[in-house]
Structure 1
């Protein structure tokens, strides 16, 4: 009975036909499941869950390294607990690699507006070093919509543009499910991204077409866990980040 009841809890995995073939429950207990019991997670005064891995709290860049050569990250550490892209220092990436995650990250473009289009406040957040959620100052600054703020770069136009004014802090809460590959390298299950920007849903479980390429079509080369990477767009973008934490979903 326990096995049967547990199966009933997995409704998302069962077809309508399979349900039609089962006897209708006649007692409440027949559809009640008592295990596995979810672990308890507490959220502290800073909004960080107790099972989160803190990647940046403003004190140091120890969790990060240069994406160019693996040396210490060279971005600028600020007195307000943030870090800012150091122009032409290159991308930075986490020392730890991840699969599926819940990622919280805050960012802001500079208050002083310079340049336009893709050269204004441009950075990016890469999941598994391959799949980019775009960071860009789009305030009164039009660009191609599959490359605007909150886009899955060159793949998914955001459902809304929810940016704060230039110079104010934005929040991304990202749910990322890594793709699954078969023994022959084929995609068994596509990766997906959900993005909430300042409390607004802007990407709703978008299934990735593959890597987010600047030029060319998405690629689907098999891979395992990968780093979270933050982009230096090399245009003196002066984008800043703070309060970065992640929860592993595997």
Structure 2
């Protein structure tokens, strides 16, 4: 009986390489890793433990296999890849789930992040050697160099007396909290399998001969719920069907309550743009409180039963601060206010431009403010905060507040240990400061001949 069958759950230790079979020189243990956002296939690491890194080089590069073997498995791990990198994880060493830089892509294939890679048979007609690959149903991939999470729920093939009686099956693939594949049958090993034949168990295999990648928090549970596998779905009553709001070719602005950690935003606007990129805006504070990729909104709580006016994001969400984005500080070390008095901040609604992009308007300290957020396809959101007249003295805009903020290149900052980035234009000089609440990234609002404005880009 394999170790996976005797232990219901576990974690692959990453204090050294002893959990793996004969690791090649391209694999190492590190304390941290940084995948380059701009430079292809470049990753750097620092000494320590807890992170598994492969950096293919000129010497022999090989995949790595765990000593642990598994049958059914609920696997979860965090991973980081630099720009244009390509890798994969093989369940039982046989069935590849693709790891690659798919940031911002629209048309997904079975070679994109989270896909089930294709099988391969060169006896098939020319041009049809690859078959049965499964593309993700939507793209929630994050930018190069950011940590992502992949969860794979897998049921191994079943055998009776040496004869296969049930195919392997991917119950679900969940990328960054969003289900991108469900109930996928695997009739045999995918291309590049380490073993010619299928079996009840096999090792976990991580690809090491393609591009650089880092892994951490590799956890597993060998209990898989078979009820999900048979394709069953909840049967909704006629008055209990989910109510979703989709973006179909043009921006959508939707008003509702939205619950975020610690509070309810009572005057929220959810904005969905084409290419599956969205954000939430608090009209009471002039704040972007969350951004996400994937689906737009689940508005079921607004309409089901008696309803409570609430909707929630359907995609992979990053929570931001709900405090005002502007403040007057006596000096650069003064604390950022949690709330603003009604005499300081008064909302004035929003206007739509010809493309349907909203500009939120409010009065701050007697000055009219315009706050516009525009998308770059499915990759980023650029925010421009401007005033109709001269700004008051000592006004700052806060671009980020987090436990950790680090400048990784000129004008590019990692937020919360590579959860997302904030990018500033060349020549912009933000203030990075440490406060009792963590770190903050501030932009002084300066009056110029061209007007008063600040700009930064959220990338994830």
TM-score by length of structure 2 reads 0.37
Q: Aligned pair in 2 of structure 1 residues 184, 95: CA closer, same or farther (>3 Å)? A: closer
| Structure ranking higher in helix proportion | 1
Task: Give the drift of 1:134.
Answer: 0.4
Q: Deviations over 1:112-132 (max 9, x none)?
A: x3xxxxxx3111111111001
Unaligned runs of 5+ in 1: 1-49, 66-70, 114-119
Match of 1:121 among 85, 91, 95: 85
Q: Aligned pair in 2 of structure 1 residues 52, 184: CA closer, same or farther (>3 Å)? A: closer
Match of 1:158 among 120, 136, 140: 136
Question: 1:172 — aligned with what?
Answer: 150
Task: Give the drift of 1:143.
Answer: 8.3
SS of residue matched to 2:75? strand
Task: Give the drift of 1:62.
Answer: 1.6
Question: 1:44 — aligned with what?
Answer: none
Q: Assess if the C-alpha contact under 8 Å between 1:174 and 1:195 holds in 2.
A: yes
Q: Aligned pair in 2 of structure 1 residues 143, 62: CA closer, same or farther (>3 Å)? A: farther
Match of 1:230 among 206, 217, 226: 206
Question: 1:240 — aligned with what?
Answer: 214
In the TM superposition, 1:1-250 aligns within 5 A as 52-56=9-13, 58-65=14-21, 71-72=22-23, 74=25, 75-80=27-32, 81-87=50-56, 88-110=60-82, 113=83, 120-140=84-104, 145-154=109-118, 155-183=133-161, 185=163, 187-193=164-170, 194-213=172-191, 221-234=197-210, 237-249=211-223
Rg larger in 1 or in 2?
Answer: 2
Task: Give the drift of 1:224.
Answer: 2.7
Task: Give the drift of 1:221.
Answer: 3.4
| Structure ranking higher in strand proportion | 2
Task: Give the drift of 1:104.
Answer: 0.8
Q: Distance in 2 between matches of 1:231 and 1:104?
A: 16
The Cα RMSD (Å) is 2.5
Q: Assess if the C-alpha contact under 8 Å between 2:74 and 2:220 holds in 1.
A: yes
Q: Aligned pair in 2 of structure 1 residues 188, 92: CA closer, same or farther (>3 Å)? A: same
Q: Distance in 1 between matches of 2:183 and 2:31?
A: 36
Aligned length: 181
Task: Give the drift of 1:244.
Answer: 0.3
Unaligned runs of 5+ in 2: 1-6, 33-49, 119-132, 225-460
Q: Distance in 2 between matches of 1:133 and 1:93?
A: 15
Q: Aligned pair in 2 of structure 1 residues 142, 89: CA closer, same or farther (>3 Å)? A: farther
Structure number with the bigger relative contact order (C-alpha 8 A, sep ≥ 6) is: 1
TM-score by length of structure 1 reads 0.65
Q: Assess if the C-alpha contact under 8 Å between 1:122 and 1:233 holds in 2.
A: no
